[in-house]
A and B are shown apart, each in its own frame.
Chain A
Amino acid sequence: MSTKINVTVNGVQYSHFVEPRLLLVSYLRDVLHLTGTHVGCDTSNCGACTIHVNGKATKCCTLLAVQADGCNITTIEGLSNNGELHPLQEGFNECHGLQCGFCTPGMIMTAADLLQHNPQPSEADIRHALDGNFCRCTGYHNIVKSVQYAAQKMKEKEVVH
């Protein structure tokens, strides 16, 4: 038994028949071949699979593909704009906010959600917002700095515009 879903992912419309039990993360990775979204656990704790569903950071390992029917989805592959890196992507490079890179897409998507709602977060705000994303490499120190860098960069851009 398959169910038809229509989704917009990174600005592209897709229509597929999927098994009702197919996880959204498997749909993105195995059907759309968007492998930038990762699976690090089976309990929705690690956050490696974080994407944006209708603009909100969402762990897509515990969402079924059929639940995303009609939704607008952004993954890490859709975050940069015409080849120009998002300030968070730039910040993670500038501040060495990644090592193995596996948690990075989820970490950036969570931080992007934070900066949408809280453009000038404190260190404590950032640490609290990233609480649902595990990183085993960086010790979080440089991830916090990366998000601070991005917030500053976005503020400067706003002033220019």
Chain B
Amino acid sequence: MSTNGLIGRAIKRVEDKRFLTGHGNYTDDIVLPKQTYASFVRSQYAHARLLNVDTSAAKEMPGVVAIYTGTDLVDVNGVPCGWQVNFKNGDTMKEPKHPLLVADKVRHVGDAIAIVIAETIEQATDAAEAVMVEYEELPCVVDAAKAVQSGAPLVHDDVPNNKSFDWVLGNPIEEVNEAMRKAAHVSTLEFVNQRLVPNAIEPRSYNSSYDPATEKYTLYTSSQNPHLIRLLMCAFVLGIPEHKVRVVSPDVGGGFGSKIFHYTEEALLTWCSKKIGRPVKWTSERSESFLLDAHGRDHITKADMGFDANGKIVALRVKTYANLGAYLSTFSSCVPTYLHGTLMQGLYTTPKINVDVTGVFTNTTPVDAYRGAGRPEATYLLERLIDLAALEMNIDPADLRFRNFIPPFDGVNQPGYQTQVALQYDSGNYEGVLKKGLEMVNYAEVRREQQEAAHNGKLVGIGFSTYIEACGIAPSAIVGSLGCRAGLFESAHVRVQPTGKVSVYTGSHSHGQGHETTFAQVVADKLGINLNDVEIIHGDSEAVAFGMGTYGSRSLSVGGSAIIKSIEKIIEKGKKIAAHKLEASADDIEFSSGKFTVKGTDKSIGFGEVALTAYVPHVYPKDLEPGLDFSSFYDPANFTYPFGCHIAVVEVDKETGKVSLKRFIAVDDVGNVINPMIVEGQIHGGLVQGIGQALFEGAEYDENGQLTNASYMDYCMPRADDFPMFEMGSQVTPCPHNPLGVKGAGEAGTIGAAPAIVNAVIDALWSGGHKVKDIRMPLTSERVWHAMVDA
């Protein structure tokens, strides 16, 4: 296929200018004719029965258009969960209704009780404050391990022990127990992978309208996947025909997973817009975002890793309680199971693995996919355990990894690697990234500095994380067999205009990933045309036929592959048009650098002329349709498996426990790279979210179910001066099963970073004689200091 060398170049982003000049178009920027504004009455309690909701005074307030409560919506469905997980005994998971407005009892702080719609947002907020709610407070439970105990308060009266599901994967537990018994050494960790708040800087925003003339709805939504929202809202919640709903996700200010899900407000605003016959807009306040945007992580885990006398891993046993919050969010059930348990092979040849996960309801904000989604939790578990084992067995942590790595395989000449936990890895060179990382950090020198520091009474530590992730989500048939209620393909429509300019309609959605540049690079490269002759259109269900959206590092590997399929069809048809013009056989036409040429001759015509001929078909093959316009759907053959090595060097202050991040080295192998600048940027951002989990962030609930740090005053967001410049390295092991050979880069940083930091801090403490096994994230000065003095 043609190439003009655009692939692989650090092209500056074409979408930047509108953002740099203040002309981005986010959902909250949109004001529609006859616009109204919504404000919510939300529960102050984590768990309470609603005795009375009195809206009479509020209805008399200035500017109020309408107020609805849960009793107005008892016949409306709740928002669905998109992934079915079964109990070990085969029973279907417990999936209680997640209503748009609560009528009976509230189940977490922030649960919606009433919506108030008014002429201005100030009037809506004033009136919402005038709604009187009488509660009967109930005992609540916020901790997943406590929620499954008998006698714990029930979040849903009909869900015994608050268990949504229990689930197991891998080798039979008896075999794993037997291998563990025979192990020469077993390292054990009991730890919490703490709850995080995604915190996209653009708060969620929706604006829904109904046109009685066409009987059509339009929903503007700050979503990562507008088509999925349309499908879920129409088919499962409101029962509206899909062709009567247009969903648009314009510029979206970051998502990180939290804008994948179908939220109650999207459906409720749409329902209200028809009731009142006017557009309704709601933009979350930050304090609402903390309480409502699906949180991430929140696992309580006990894990054992067994080794033989040579330091080879012989078994891994994992038991996790995953906190799901008060309701099942869209993909909540698959995160701790199929995106977590399936990653327990890591990069190692572990022969026996058993992972057991219980999904638990609590009186907290729902938990779902947050950047990495299950894979950071799996990586944290494995990488903490192997580093701890290295300390306990007095083996160098890099050496211990080398002893256990799966040997290199390219997935072409050597087969993929079949794990003990369902997945088959596509291609990998795991020792390669660690070797490169060791060179970059200058390992021997850092160890020497560490010894010198210890000699001078300072604590320096180095920590490793060699991770793998499953991305490019996902082969529809496989995920379907595992319980996914959707296909996970992608669509692409490539329209060549008569002048040779190209419009690409993709089902992927960019909310910072730079698709307008990367996808255009791919198209311009393959067609041999200028980058600025390509436009990427996304995020509008009326323009784009269908799409599954952007998450799970899937846009290029799945969405990009769909684009390639359409381009192949364009070139094939272009050859027929060119052959007719050049009086040759289509089989004799070659396409390269934007030209169709008769093989072995200098007879050729350009792409632009072929495009024009397709739309002005005067001299044209008889049996060929006019036009040059193709749609494709691409369903991947496998997940993709990016991997890498992250290394942290830290210094711990002996007096205060303060951790200073001195260096961070990231060597990531994400397969082939289209735009290295954008890939590095994705990894930088991921690193800060991973390091943020290790050092700063964590949602804290008190025993009454109040989120005590639900604001930017209280939740420690990573800031510019918390970090050094990152030291970036790369390796390329192409993906063998997609046409671009790409694996995905969106989540790598977040997945790898956190355990490297914690391992470095633990290593620093051991260097000073404090033999600490674990410190609970985030590693605040107080926690590190306590760990030191208590050890």
Q: Identify the A interface with B (CB < 8 A).
A: 19, 21, 29-30, 34-43, 45-46, 48, 75-77, 79-80, 85, 89, 92-94, 96, 98-105, 108, 123-124, 126-128, 130-131, 133-144
- B677 interfacial by beta-carbon distance below 8 Å: yes
How many angstroms from the CA of A123 to the CA of B680 in the assembled complex? Answer: 19
Q: List 12 A-B contacts (CB under 8 A).
A: A36-B23, A40-B202, A40-B253, A43-B713, A75-B22, A99-B685, A100-B254, A101-B19, A101-B253, A105-B22, A134-B717, A137-B685
What is the CB-to-nearest-CB distance from A26 to chain B, in angstroms, rounded to a whole number?
Answer: 8
- B residues within 8 A CB of A141? 684, 723, 725-726
What is the CB-to-nearest-CB distance from B129 to chain A, in angstroms, rounded to a whole number?
Answer: 14
- A residues within 8 A CB of B424? none
Supposing A93-B13, A102-B26, A133-B720 touch, asked if A140 and B21 sit within 8 A by C-beta, the answer is no
- B residues within 8 A CB of A105? 19, 22
Supposing A40-B286, A41-B712, A42-B286 touch, asked if A139 and B717 sit within 8 A by C-beta, the answer is no
- B44 interfacial by beta-carbon distance below 8 Å: no
- B residues within 8 A CB of A135? 201, 720
Supposing A76-B22, A101-B253 touch, asked if A136 and B13 sit within 8 A by C-beta, the answer is no
Q: Is the CB of B685 within 8 A of A136?
A: yes
- A residues within 8 A CB of B13? 93, 96
The contact of B512 among A37, A45, A100, A139, by CB within 8 Å, is: A100
Interface of A is mostly: loop
What is the CB-to-nearest-CB distance from A159 to chain B, in angstroms, rounded to a whole number?
Answer: 25
Instruction: Give the A-B pair count, Cβ closer than 8 A.
Output: 175
How many angstroms from the CA of A36 to the CA of B20 in the assembled complex? Answer: 9
- A residues within 8 A CB of B19? 98, 101, 104-105
A-contact 0/1 string along B132-149, CB 8 Å cutoff: 000000000000000000
Supposing A43-B713, A124-B721, A141-B725 touch, asked if A136 and B254 sit within 8 A by C-beta, the answer is yes
- A residues within 8 A CB of B199? 134, 136
Q: Is the CB of B688 within 8 A of A41?
A: no
The contact of B29 among A35, A126, A131, by CB within 8 Å, is: A35
What is the CB-to-nearest-CB distance from B538 to chain A, in angstroms, rounded to a whole number?
Answer: 14
The contact of B26 among A38, A79, A108, by CB within 8 Å, is: A38
How many angstroms from the CA of A79 to the CA of B20 in the assembled complex? Answer: 9
Q: Is the CB of A104 within 8 A of B20?
A: yes
The contact of A139 among B25, B28, B678, B723, by CB within 8 Å, is: B723
Q: Is the CB of A43 within 8 A of B256?
A: no
- B residues within 8 A CB of A75? 22
How many angstroms from the CA of A143 to the CA of B283 in the assembled complex? Answer: 27
How many angstroms from the CA of A19 to the CA of B684 in the assembled complex? Answer: 43
- B549 interfacial by beta-carbon distance below 8 Å: no
What is the CB-to-nearest-CB distance from A94 to chain B, in angstroms, rounded to a whole number?
Answer: 7
A-B complex: 7 closest residue pairs judged by Cβ atoms: A36-B22, A101-B19, A102-B253, A100-B512, A99-B512, A45-B712, A139-B684
- B residues within 8 A CB of A40? 201-203, 253, 286
Q: Is the CB of A136 within 8 A of B286?
A: no
| Residue of chain B at shortest CB distance from A76 | B22
Supposing A93-B20, A102-B202, A136-B256 touch, asked if A130 and B720 sit within 8 A by C-beta, the answer is yes
Q: Is the CB of B12 within 8 A of A94?
A: yes
The contact of B201 among A76, A127, A136, by CB within 8 Å, is: A136
Q: Is the CB of B20 within 8 A of A137?
A: no
List which B111-127 residues lie within 8 A (CB) of chain A: 122
- B407 interfacial by beta-carbon distance below 8 Å: no
What is the CB-to-nearest-CB distance from B281 to chain A, in angstroms, rounded to a whole number?
Answer: 11
How many angstroms from the CA of A37 to the CA of B749 in the assembled complex? Answer: 29
A-contact 0/1 string along B320-339, CB 8 Å cutoff: 00000000000000000000
How many angstroms from the CA of A130 to the CA of B765 in the assembled complex? Answer: 32
- B residues within 8 A CB of A96? 12-13, 677-678, 680-681
Q: Is the CB of A76 within 8 A of B688?
A: no
- B residues within 8 A CB of A127? 720-721, 723
- A residues within 8 A CB of B122? 19, 21
How many angstroms from the CA of A85 to the CA of B18 in the assembled complex? Answer: 11
Supposing A45-B713, A134-B717, A141-B723 touch, asked if A92 and B23 sit within 8 A by C-beta, the answer is no
| Residue of chain B at shortest CB distance from A88 | B20
What is the CB-to-nearest-CB distance from A33 to chain B, in angstroms, rounded to a whole number?
Answer: 8
What is the CB-to-nearest-CB distance from A51 to chain B, in angstroms, rounded to a whole number?
Answer: 10
Q: Is the CB of A128 within 8 A of B721?
A: yes
Q: Is the CB of B254 within 8 A of A139?
A: no
- B residues within 8 A CB of A30? 31
What is the CB-to-nearest-CB distance from A134 to chain B, in angstroms, rounded to a whole number?
Answer: 5
- B residues within 8 A CB of A45? 711-713, 717
The contact of B720 among A98, A101, A143, by CB within 8 Å, is: A143
List which B13-39 residues lie within 8 A (CB) of chain A: 13, 15-26, 28-29, 31
What is the CB-to-nearest-CB distance from B403 to chain A, in angstroms, rounded to a whole number?
Answer: 33
| Residue of chain A at shortest CB distance from B10 | A96
Q: Is the CB of A140 within 8 A of B20?
A: no
Supposing A131-B719, A137-B512 touch, asked if A85 and B201 sit within 8 A by C-beta, the answer is no
| Residue of chain B at shortest CB distance from A37 | B22
| Residue of chain A at shortest CB distance from B511 | A100
What is the CB-to-nearest-CB distance from A25 to chain B, in angstroms, rounded to a whole number?
Answer: 11
- A residues within 8 A CB of B751? none
How many angstroms from the CA of A48 to the CA of B15 in the assembled complex? Answer: 19
What is the CB-to-nearest-CB distance from A54 to chain B, in angstroms, rounded to a whole number?
Answer: 20
How many angstroms from the CA of A98 to the CA of B512 in the assembled complex? Answer: 8
Supposing A40-B201, A41-B286, A42-B287 touch, asked if A126 and B720 sit within 8 A by C-beta, the answer is yes
- A residues within 8 A CB of B285? 42
- B427 interfacial by beta-carbon distance below 8 Å: no
Supposing A45-B712, A100-B252 touch, asked if A139 and B203 sit within 8 A by C-beta, the answer is no
What is the CB-to-nearest-CB distance from B479 to chain A, in angstroms, rounded to a whole number?
Answer: 27
Q: Is the CB of B684 within 8 A of A98?
A: no
- B541 interfacial by beta-carbon distance below 8 Å: no
- B514 interfacial by beta-carbon distance below 8 Å: yes
14 A-B pairs besides A36-B22, A99-B512 with CB distance below 8 A are A40-B203, A42-B286, A42-B287, A42-B711, A45-B711, A77-B22, A89-B21, A123-B725, A128-B721, A130-B721, A137-B681, A139-B749, A144-B720, A144-B725
Q: Is the CB of A98 within 8 A of B689?
A: no
A-contact 0/1 string along B682-694, CB 8 Å cutoff: 1011111100000
Q: Which of B201, B681, B684 has the most CB of A within 10 A?
A: B201
How many angstroms from the CA of A14 to the CA of B399 in the assembled complex? Answer: 69
How many angstroms from the CA of A41 to the CA of B717 in the assembled complex? Answer: 12
How many angstroms from the CA of A105 to the CA of B730 in the assembled complex? Answer: 31
How many angstroms from the CA of A30 to the CA of B121 in the assembled complex? Answer: 11
Supposing A40-B203, A131-B719 touch, asked if A100 and B677 sit within 8 A by C-beta, the answer is no
What is the CB-to-nearest-CB distance from B119 to chain A, in angstroms, rounded to a whole number?
Answer: 13
Supposing A102-B201, A103-B201, A136-B256 touch, asked if A76 and B21 sit within 8 A by C-beta, the answer is yes
- B residues within 8 A CB of A48? 201
Q: Which of A93, A101, A135 has the most CB of B within 10 A?
A: A101
Q: Is the CB of A98 within 8 A of B511?
A: no
Q: Is the CB of A137 within 8 A of B254?
A: yes
The contact of B21 among A77, A102, A123, by CB within 8 Å, is: A77
Q: Which of B24, B203, B511 has the most CB of A within 10 A?
A: B24
- B residues within 8 A CB of A144? 720, 725
- B residues within 8 A CB of A136? 199-201, 254, 256, 685, 689, 717
| Residue of chain A at shortest CB distance from B721 | A127
Q: Is the CB of A140 within 8 A of B723?
A: yes
